[in-house]
Amino acid sequence: MTSSNNIPVITIDGPTASGKGTVAQLVADRLGFHYLDSGALYRLTALSALRTETPLDDEQALATLAGDLRCNFANGDIFLNGDNVSMAIRAEKVGNTASKIAAWPALRQALVDVQLRFAQAPGLIADGRDMGTVIFPDACLKVFLTASAEARAQRRYKQLIDKGFSANMDDLLKDLNERDARDANRTVAPLKPAEGAYLLDTSNLTVNQAVEQVIGWYAAVKN
């Protein structure tokens, strides 16, 4: 079982700060596969909207911004119009804006082809909210990765502090719960496990254990 163009695709979906980005990137490194951080595309659109002062309720203007994104991913860095925005897109304001504008169907549609183009040989690890449900429904392995809200807030806190941002645990927990509710309750492509997804709760797992689990599942399904 592969995606429609015979490229093996593993989808890893889950809520914010579940650790899926880290796990997905490491699984991609281990298998020598490409990596799609679909959240980064929503964050890039959000950053672009903030920079151009595009109203967040103007669905068509936001869809146009998404469709016209001049971005590229190179050696772990992310560029927007030639500007290295790897740090800027990780700010909480950008993440929250991304979660808000991601509810617009036309904007999501504008990003579909960009995401499909990441499915290249020898394979792809696709990380997001709707990778297994909408973008790559024929993926050979679908994982839904989560962790308790407290464990996720703790991880997000550490991530922000490590990157030199300031952070407050109570605010983070509140933002995270709000963002979960928004991502899970929107009408288009809500966050939910895909049919047949393997559930992976990482609250009490190390990153390495989570990576091993995904690699083990892949080894079992790929034949």
213 near ligand DC, rule: CB under 6 A: no
Tell me the site size for ligand DC, rule CB under 6 A: 14
Q: Which one of residues 33, 144, 146, 183 is an interface residue with ligand DC (CB under 6 A)?
A: 183
110 near ligand DC, rule: CB under 6 A: no
Name residues whose C-beta falls within 8 Å of residue 153's C-beta, 6 or more positions apart in sequence.
17, 169, 172, 173, 176
CB of 42 to ligand DC, least distance (A): 3
175 near ligand DC, rule: CB under 6 A: no
129 near ligand DC, rule: CB under 6 A: yes
CB of 107 to ligand DC, least distance (A): 9
152 near ligand DC, rule: CB under 6 A: no
Within positions 33 to 92, which residues make up the interface with ligand DC, using CB under 6 A? 38-39, 42-43
Between residues 96 and 222, which has the closer beta carbon with respect to ligand DC? 96
Q: Which one of residues 66, 85, 102, 176 is an interface residue with ligand DC (CB under 6 A)?
A: 102
Q: Which one of residues 24, 71, 85, 98 is an interface residue with ligand DC (CB under 6 A)?
A: 98
Question: Interface residues with ligand DC (CB under 6 A)?
Answer: 16, 38-39, 42-43, 95, 98-99, 102, 128-130, 179, 183
